[in-house]
Copies of this chain bind each other. A is one copy, B any other.
Amino acid sequence: MPVRLAELAVRFGCKLRGDPDALVERVASLQEAGPGSIAFLANRRYRRYLAQTRATAVVIEPALADECPVAALATSNPYATYARIAQLLHPEPAFEPGRHPSAVVEPGASVDATAWIGAHAYVASGAEIGRGAFIGPGSIVMAGARVGDSSRLVARVTICKGVRIGQRCIVHPGAVVGGDGFGHAPDGGAFVKVPQVGAVVIGDDVEVGANSTIDRGAIGDTVIGDGVKIDNQVQIGHNVRIGEHTVIAGCVGISGSAVIGRRCMLGGMVGVVGHLEICDDVLVTGRTMISSSIRQPGIYSSALAADEAKRFRRNAARFQQLDELAKRVRRLERAGDAPEQGEDDD
């Protein structure tokens, strides 16, 4: 469904430079756009593609609008504006309410009349499915769980017993919300399973990536705040609490009872040890291990970058003697009366 540039400008508060009646009907990258496409420029590293673009229009920051060889929709946040335009041009397909003949909805389940229950989906007795919710094919919603209004389980999602999912959430295929936390009490060389009697409570506007897992609480609940975005293959242990609008990239692991603040960003493969706290507004770069609490907003790292393997091995071998090396330097300083550090390091 083509849309006029004038309409986009008004709807999303952009300044239009170009033909208000020009039509766009899809998004594309600057390089691949053709007539009828709208592109965007948010990252200056793609600026070199601007001059040659064949897009009908480009969403762009005001300072660069004059460089744009085609129609420009100028806005202070081109990426967010692009995202909204893309949502308009590429909406999720609408669905008819109802249920697929192969779905199983047990007696005692409460399914809103405006929801959809897909093929081979299973809704247990005592589960609740809210207004306009979409339960995709192969998904499972167990007893006492609730999927809030307008939330979408894309396909093959497992929502375990008693889990509450807010409104407008999206849960991607293979995700498991509310599996047992990992609790085993050692006893005479073996282990006794610790029942995991808490649940998971997920706020509104949360996204959970494919094959991610969020464990139920051991006693209280695991809590994911409003607006949290979780990428694929993320593992969140029991009784973790994550503050609003925190973003968690792929393959992150968060151990039990960790508390993570609001507006944090955890890069890919970050690991967070259990029973610690990360304050609001912390950015953790990829592959970092957080093993103690962070109380100051800022950027944190711990991952060494790749090096040519032979050289890396030589340096890594020296790492194993590093404490010794530091002591040798200390001895040299003493012997030579060399200028010393204030610190007393051995």
| A residues adjacent to B (C-beta < 8 A) | 26-29, 32, 77, 79-80, 82-84, 86-87, 90, 100, 102, 104, 119-120, 122, 124, 137-138, 140, 142, 154-156, 158, 160, 170, 172-174, 176, 179-180, 182-187, 189-195, 197, 205, 207, 209-211, 213, 215, 219-220, 227, 229, 231-233, 235, 237, 245, 247, 249-251, 253, 255, 263, 268-269, 271, 273, 284-292, 294, 298-326, 328-329, 331-333, 335-336, 338-339, 341, 345
A211-B174 contact in complex given A300-B308, A308-B300, C-beta closer than 8 Å: yes
Contact among B27, B29, B193, B245 with A190 in the assembled complex (CB-CB below 8 Å): B245
Bound CA span A7–B158, Å: 38
Looking at the assembled complex, report how far the CB atom of A50 sits from the nearest CB atom of chain B, in whole angstroms. Answer: 16
Q: Is the CB of A300 within 8 A of B289?
A: no
In this complex, what residue of B is CB-closest to A191?
A: B229
Contact among B77, B90, B306, B322 with A322 in the assembled complex (CB-CB below 8 Å): B322
CB neighbours of A323 from chain B (8 A): 311, 314-315, 317-318
Contact among B233, B307, B335 with A338 in the assembled complex (CB-CB below 8 Å): B335
Bound CA span A329–B184, Å: 49
CB neighbours of A324 from chain B (8 A): 341
In this complex, what residue of B is CB-closest to A278?
A: B306
CB neighbours of A155 from chain B (8 A): 140, 142, 158, 160
Looking at the assembled complex, report how far the CB atom of A24 sits from the nearest CB atom of chain B, in whole angstroms. Answer: 13
A213-B194 contact in complex given A28-B219, A179-B173, A312-B302, C-beta closer than 8 Å: no
CB neighbours of A333 from chain B (8 A): 328, 332
Bound CA span A100–B104, Å: 10
CB neighbours of A237 from chain B (8 A): 250
A80-B322 contact in complex given A305-B291, A306-B290, C-beta closer than 8 Å: no
Q: Is the CB of B306 within 8 A of A304?
A: no
CB neighbours of A191 from chain B (8 A): 227, 229, 245, 247
In this complex, what residue of B is CB-closest to A193?
A: B83
Q: Is the CB of A269 within 8 A of B250?
A: no
A253-B250 contact in complex given A156-B156, A232-B179, C-beta closer than 8 Å: yes
Q: Is the CB of A326 within 8 A of B321?
A: yes
Q: Is the CB of A233 within 8 A of B213?
A: yes
A87-B193 contact in complex given A155-B140, A253-B250, A290-B306, C-beta closer than 8 Å: yes
Q: Is the CB of B332 within 8 A of A322?
A: no
Contact among B26, B84, B255, B309 with A300 in the assembled complex (CB-CB below 8 Å): B309
Bound CA span A132–B45, Å: 46
Looking at the assembled complex, report how far the CB atom of A27 sits from the nearest CB atom of chain B, in whole angstroms. Answer: 6
CB neighbours of A192 from chain B (8 A): 80, 83-84, 87
Looking at the assembled complex, report how far the CB atom of A159 sits from the nearest CB atom of chain B, in whole angstroms. Answer: 10
Q: Is the CB of A197 within 8 A of B86?
A: yes
A219-B29 contact in complex given A120-B122, A158-B174, A255-B250, C-beta closer than 8 Å: yes
CB neighbours of A180 from chain B (8 A): 154, 170, 172, 209
A315-B322 contact in complex given A83-B193, A140-B155, A194-B86, C-beta closer than 8 Å: yes
7 contacts between A and B (CB under 8 A): A79-B185, A83-B183, A155-B160, A209-B213, A210-B215, A304-B316, A304-B319
Contacts A305-B316, A321-B345 supplied; 5 other A-B pairs, CB < 8 Å: A27-B195, A32-B220, A182-B231, A250-B255, A271-B303
